Amino acid sequence: MRKFSIIAAGTFVSLAIASNAFAADCDSDVVLVRGSSASQKLIEAVAKVAAGQGVKIVYSNSGSSCVGGVYEAVTPAAATTGRAATANTAFDAAAPSATCTMNPPRAADIGVSDVYASSCAGVAGVGDTTLPAGVTDTLGPVQAFTLAVYDDPSFPVAISAASAFNILGITARGGDASFNVAPWTVVADIFGRAEDSGTWQTWSRNLGLITQKPVTTPAAGAGAVLAALNTANRASAIGIIALNDIVPTAGVAPKVRPLAFKAKDQDFAYYPSSTSTSSDLINVRDGHYQTWANLHFFARKDTAGDYSASVKKVLGLLESKDAVAAVTKIRAVPSCAMQVSRSSDGGDFKAYTPAAPCGCYFEATASGTAPTTCKTCTVGDNSTCGSTGQCVFGYCEAK
Amino acid sequence: MFKRTPILVTFAFLTLAAGTFVACTDDSSSAVGGASSGNPLNPGTDSGTPPVTGDGGPGPGPGGGCPNKPAGCFCGTPTTQKEFLNRCTNAAALPVTLTPKAATTADIP
């Protein structure tokens, strides 16, 4: 009986390993999206909406914006080097958690980056970042990037750009210890990312650091930073991570929280949202929280100047009501809810008015209740919104 | 008693007006930072005005008016980065009291 149990257990393990190692080939009609680890949850959100409309997205986590999204954009589609063939996450309405393998490896249909292509120049083997003819850059949802710590009430709640500059620049580079900023004084407990990471590029460009000198021993990805903050010497640990990576997974919230951030020339520090516990992300949206970036969706057009039908559908979904709701729930900001924009990573803000603003719907979805200043309306009927208003996703917004 | 009322009202009005003027600075200067310290991030501004916290809610959006906080905030229509960053808001505004040593990228080995 005991011998049988051991054999059965061994068989089960063998089958499990085999299943994982030999994922089925991906269908030929999938939309292959390759991009940064920070973008994965956003892609998942969009992919679930796309799956409901018959478009299957396969996501390949390249680990970084430059190696993934930008490489895919600037490298000719016919090139075979650098194309990932490892098991990917497939989003199929019939099998939402399936994985598959690109066989043979091929160029992604959409490369996703946290940063502009130009930010990857000279990084991780990416040379010229000029987008080839026919490759477009569609701005997607906005991610807030945070300096985060373990969630202990005795730990600091805010940090200034000057302190962050020293922590990520001086201390972590093994420089003069006099530049240290308590309690983040232990080099081994400062968790940055590699230079090809959009998270690093965004922070370094906003702080004025040298973009190609990331912190020592960068974490392998967003998940690694999250895990490190949970397990390292918590009192002295700090890391850079996208806000949408600090969301509950399977109902369990990570014990990590973002610090309020005070930018250069700013008088106070601000959380991404109006308070540490709210979810309106108003400070990202109106320019009080400095460290954010749009996702970039790089896609190729054919010689006739058109996207493939499925790619066109995916790009068209980015600002759909379902995608806006999905993106909002993972603590990112759809472009339609932004009030400021920027044209380079770390660049200055400009006032931004979307063609169809969705601030009311965003806040209603994020917090469960629309602000009292928001007025409901019937989609397609602008009459209740006055001469200067329009009905967007069921709320009156500025025209 | 009846003679004091107008005086008190006038005093209250002037006090409120002065308070509003002090709280809301229409600083349209595009100059950045203060005296040059060699640190591109100007650590000299880390401390100063007392904390002003809000209880959430939307910021000064279209038609939302100016909440006149935190202290020294910018009430107008922002055009510079400094004005965007310091625009009046209902959001929680936290002071940062850390005073790191001034540094530049030249200090990074």
Token pair listed for A249 = 């997974």
Q: How far is A325 from chain B (nearest CA, A)?
A: 19
Mean pLDDT of all residues in B59-65:
49
pLDDT, tens digit (0-9, with 9 covering 90-100), for A225-246: 999 998 878 999 999 999 988 8
Q: Write down the pLDDT at residue A254.
A: 85
Which residues of chain B have a CB within 8 Å of the CB of A170? 103, 107-108
Q: Write down the pLDDT at residue A38.
A: 67
Which residues of chain B have a CB within 8 Å of the CB of A280? 56-58
Give A387's DSSP letter.
T
Q: One-letter amino acid identity for A235? A: A
Q: Are β-strands A395-398 and A190-191 bridged in parallel, bridged antiparallel, or unpaired? A: unpaired
Place A1 in a pLDDT band, splitting at 50, 70 and 90.
very low
DSSP H or E segment with residue A29: none
The CA distance from A167 to A182, in Å, is: 9
Answer for the pair A43, A79: CB distance below 8 angstroms, yes or no: no
pLDDT, tens digit (0-9, with 9 covering 90-100), for A106-157: 889 999 998 999 988 888 777 888 999 999 999 999 999 999 999 999 999 9
Which residues of chain B have a CB within 8 Å of the CB of A268? 49, 51-52, 70, 93-96
* Higher per-residue pLDDT: A20 or A65: A65
* Higher per-residue pLDDT: A29 or A214: A29
Q: What percent of chain A has pLDDT over 70?
A: 89
Taking an 8 Å cut-off on Cβ atoms, the answer to whether B85 and A181 are in contact is no
Which residues of chain A have a CB within 8 Å of the CB of B84? 286-288, 340, 348-349
Q: One-letter amino acid identity for A18? A: A
Place A102 in a pLDDT band, splitting at 50, 70 and 90.
confident
Would you say residue A41 has pLDDT above 80? Answer: no
Closest residue of B to A160, CA-based? B96
Q: One-letter amino acid identity for A349? A: F
DSSP track, chain B? -TTHHHHHHHHHHHHHHHHHHHHB--------SSS--S-TT-GGGSS-SPPB-------S-TT------STTBB-S---SHHHHHTB--SS-BB-----PPP--GGG--
Taking an 8 Å cut-off on Cβ atoms, the answer to whether A207 and B62 are in contact is no
Q: Write down the pLDDT at residue A171.
A: 73
Would you say residue A308 has pLDDT above 50? Answer: yes
Q: Write down the pLDDT at residue A222.
A: 83
Taking an 8 Å cut-off on Cβ atoms, the answer to whether A170 and B72 are in contact is no
Q: Write down the pLDDT at residue A10.
A: 43
Q: Count H helices and E strands in chain A, helices first.
A: 10, 16
Q: One-letter amino acid identity for B28? A: S
Mean pLDDT of all residues in B22-40:
32
Mean pLDDT of all residues in B68-88:
96
Q: One-letter amino acid identity for A375? A: K
* Higher per-residue pLDDT: A34 or A11: A34
At A312, is the secondary structure helix, strand, or coil?
helix
CA nearest to A285, candidates A360, A233, A214: A360
Closest residue of A to B91, CA-based? A274
Place A25 in a pLDDT band, splitting at 50, 70 and 90.
confident
Taking an 8 Å cut-off on Cβ atoms, the answer to whether A267 and B52 are in contact is no
DSSP track, A203-255? HHHHHT--TT-PPSS-BSSHHHHHHHHHHS-GGG-EEEEEGGGSS-BTTB--S
The CA distance from B63 to A397, in Å, is: 11
Would you say residue A62 has pLDDT above 80? Answer: no
∠ CA A381-A382-A387, nearest 5°, is 155
Token pair listed for A209 = 């650091």
**Which residue among A163, A274, A285 places its CB closest to the CB of B100?**
A163
Which residues of chain A have a CB within 8 Å of the CB of B54? 274-275
Mean pLDDT of all residues in A200-221:
85
- Give contacts of B 1-60 with A, CB under 8 A: 32-33, 39-43, 45-46, 48-49, 51-52, 54-60
- Give contacts of A 273-292 with B, CB under 8 A: 273-276, 278, 280, 282-283, 285-288, 290
Q: Write down the pLDDT at residue B58.
A: 40
- Mean pLDDT lowest among A64-68, A194-198, A248-252: A248-252
Q: How far apart are the first and last CA of chain A?
A: 74
Distance of CA A293 to the CA centre of its chain: 9
Would you say residue A210 has pLDDT above 90? Answer: no
Taking an 8 Å cut-off on Cβ atoms, the answer to whether B81 and A268 are in contact is no
Q: How far is A209 from chain B (nearest CA, A)?
A: 6
Q: Given CB atoms, is B87 within the 8 Å cutoff of chain A?
A: yes
The CA distance from B74 to B86, in Å, is: 6
* Length of chain A in terms of residues written: 399
Mean pLDDT of all residues in A390-397:
97
Token pair listed for A348 = 């200055």
Structural domains present in chain A = 10-141+293-341 (3.40.190.10), 142-291 (3.40.190.10), 354-398 (no CATH)
**Which residue among A207, A275, A339 places its CB closest to the CB of B92?**
A275
Q: Write down the pLDDT at residue B39.
A: 30
Would you say residue A215 has pLDDT above 90? Answer: no
